[in-house]
Amino acid sequence: MIKSTKYYLIFFAFFISSCSSLLDINETFQNFLPSSQNSIYVVQPGDSLWAIALKLNIDQKALISLNNLIEPYVIYPNQKLVISGLNSSNSSIVKNSSKLWNHPLNDDFQGSNTKDGWIIFVQPVGTPIFSIDRGKVEIAGPDIPGYGNLVMISHPNNYLSLYAHCDKIFVEQGDEVSRGTIIAHLGSSESASPLLRFQIRKNGKPIRSNKTDFVF
């Protein structure tokens, strides 16, 4: 028993010596936790609230409320945001409701579904992209790395629609759009070939959509 205690003390002394402060100890401990148990997100350079919400599949409004953020919602690298209780899970995809959406390309081309809830439509550059419903433009441009020219529209009842890798964009942040409005042209920004990477979200969660969810 004494021998085991001695080993524990040696290990603890080594662990303490590797950390320059109590803060370092806490951060080191957090790094050992599984991501599902880690209730803190550390803001990275280039992050925005929308980017964090998309990355973690959580609702941006809930993230703002939980962290008591005040407009204009400025965040900075290494800032710690609480995400506990927001059900952050990259594998969390919900089924679509009975709601029917306008098709983003206004035709019956189904596209291919990805495991993370996106639909990929491969079409020529310049193909018109349409808003699936009325709403407000939240993002219009290359604001989030990896999505190219992105249009994001918030819709009633906490829905979001995302249109990534666009070519030309015809709307601006803050614009109100109607169902079926032409918002952009399909392109290949941050993509190896022309395509529309499309997704619908409800309360921050991706929705698994299929052909029957759209009208033409």
The 3-state DSSP class for residue 80 equals: strand
Task: Report the percent of the chain where pLDDT is more than 90.
Answer: 53
**Are 105 and 74 within one domain?**
no
What's the whole-number mean pLDDT along residues 175-199? 96
**Are 14 and 102 within one domain?**
no
**Are 128 and 165 within one domain?**
yes
Does residue 89 belong to any structural domain of this protein? no
**Are 113 and 74 within one domain?**
no
Cis before 194? omega within 30: no
Does residue 87 belong to any structural domain of this protein? no
Per-residue pLDDT, 76: 93
Determine the Cα–Cα distance for residues 97 and 32; give it in Å rounded to an integer.
Answer: 39
Per-residue pLDDT, 6: 54
| pTM of the complete model beyond 0.75 | no
**Are 159 and 208 within one domain?**
yes
**Are 123 and 192 within one domain?**
yes
Domain that holds residue 183: 94-215
Non-local (6+) Cβ contacts of 189 within 8 A are 142, 148, 149, 165, 166, 167
**Are 31 and 115 within one domain?**
no
| pLDDT of 136 higher than 60 | yes
**Are 115 and 142 within one domain?**
yes
**Are 48 and 128 within one domain?**
no
Q: 82, 117, 136: which is the final residue of a domain?
A: 82
**Are 48 and 129 within one domain?**
no
Please name the residue ranges forming H helices in 47-180. 49-56, 60-66
| pLDDT of 110 higher than 90 | no
Per-residue pLDDT, 24: 45
Tokens read off for 122: 């491969």
